[in-house]
Amino acid sequence: MDNARKLRVQLITRNLPPLVGGMEQLNWHLVDQLRAAADVVVVGPEGASAFAPPATDIREVPLRPLWRFLLVATRCAVAVARQFRPDVVFGGSGLMAPMTWVSARLVGAKAAIYLHGLDIAVNHPLYRWFWLPFLHRMDLVFANSSATQAMAVAQGIPAARIAIVHPGVAVPGALPGHSPKRVADAFSGLGDGKVLLSVGRLSSRKGLCEFVSEVLPLIVRRCPDVMLLIAGDVPKDALHAKAQTPEMIRDAARRAGVGDHLRFLGVIVDREHLADIYRGSDLHVFPVRTIPGDPEGFGMVAIEAAAFGVPTVAYATGGVVDAVADGVSGRLVAPGQPQAFADAVVALLERPLPREQVWRHAQAYDWSQFGRKIFGTLCNLTSTGST
């Protein structure tokens, strides 16, 4: 990533730790990768400095309420741009588009944005009236999947200005061993049956209520000792997300007669602990629903599972089709087909995919690959004036 003069990048984002989620992971690694090759200043949420990569220059603004964050972050972003004189102002999500474009234009910088699926699909009238026009003005739009790219083009953003860069994961240098005992030791009462795993925010889009009521009973009939572990909780700071609470999911499971076949682990922030859970699981399930206006932009968790050799069964919707390679890292099932989903799960439990094959699929998504693609595209943007 050597360059005659270090690229200057100003990143603006609301999604950084201490908030927890896939977007927060992505922006953390975006900072980490860019700062190795560029001069980076971040405008981010209060508390982010304590969790940021070492020696990161972060200008913090209050996270809540949202209107205050947007107002203060805009003022801060403009001030930073005038002082820092960036080559690129980079918005970490569509929500940052207005302040990204204004800050860039004030100092003659390029404006770039990273789009997640909901950034382009959200149907709020104010967002569509005010925010979407700024997305059209960007010099460069990164899309997290081919599905997000297609939605952006459908909204009138020229395809020539869009670059697909999939989110990444931390891929171990060697295939992690499969260690069911680690999970059994940590969570009593699991028994010796197969372990299914779900990781992520408990939003309606993730479809866990539907999974435990429609799919899990079909699996249990054929695999009576199977256990579903659920790592995650309701989305407290996510915008637009509708929740399925643990109580709702437990109730759906009880009514379906499978209440004894799931365990909630809560939010797991310790990466080593989460790694142990992946290593002890046989299969990751990702029953994402197809909901108009609320797409699954990519599906980072499917790649994260693959990094530990754990295959995924998922409904083929949104950007999930970019994250799961059917027959290689898991199985894709037509949306709304619970019997087909159950059949795919049972088939992989009885005849598992080679864990090394699944792990190798994840290697193409390592964060270092993500960083190289982002940095190279930004360098091209600033040197040629176009993507």
Quick: pLDDT tens for 79-108.
999 999 999 999 999 999 999 999 999 999
| Tally of structural domains, the chain | 2
- Verify that 191 and 280 share a domain, yes or no: yes
In degrees rounded to 5, what are phi and psi of residue 54? Answer: -55, 145
pLDDT on residue 100: 98
Q: Where are the beta strands (DSSP E) in the chain?
A: 7-12, 38-45, 57-61, 88-91, 110-115, 140-143, 162-164, 195-199, 227-231, 262-266, 283-286, 312-315, 330-333
For 25, the domain range is 7-168+366-384
pLDDT on residue 336: 93
CB 41 within 8 A of CB 86: yes
For 49-72, what is each residue's pLDDT tens digit? 999 999 999 999 999 999 999 999
- Verify that 88 and 142 share a domain, yes or no: yes
The answer to whether the bond into 125 is cis (omega within 30° of 0) is: no
At 91, which CATH number?
3.40.50.2000
User: Is residue 1 in a domain?
Assistant: no
- Verify that 263 and 286 share a domain, yes or no: yes
Residue 371 has pLDDT above 90, yes or no: yes
Residue 4 has pLDDT above 80, yes or no: no
Angle subtended at Cα 193 by Cα 306 and Cα 332, rounded to the nearest 5 degrees: 35
CB 365 within 8 A of CB 171: yes
Among the ranges given (122-126, 250-254, 339-343), the one the predictor scored with the smallest mean pLDDT: 122-126
The pLDDT-based confidence of 386 (bands split at 50, 70, 90) is very low
pLDDT on residue 226: 96
User: Is residue 112 in a domain?
Assistant: yes
Residues 206 and 184: their CA atoms lie apart, in Å, by 26
For 210-229, what is each residue's pLDDT tens digit? 999 999 999 999 999 999 99
User: Is residue 108 in a domain?
Assistant: yes
pLDDT on residue 269: 79
In degrees rounded to 5, what are phi and psi of residue 294? Answer: -140, 70
Provide mean pLDDT across the span 126-152. Answer: 94
Give the whole-number percent of the chain exceeding pLDDT 90: 77
pLDDT on residue 200: 87
Residues 270 and 289: their CA atoms lie apart, in Å, by 28
pLDDT on residue 127: 87
- Verify that 208 and 333 share a domain, yes or no: yes
Neighbours of 1 (CB within 10 A): 14
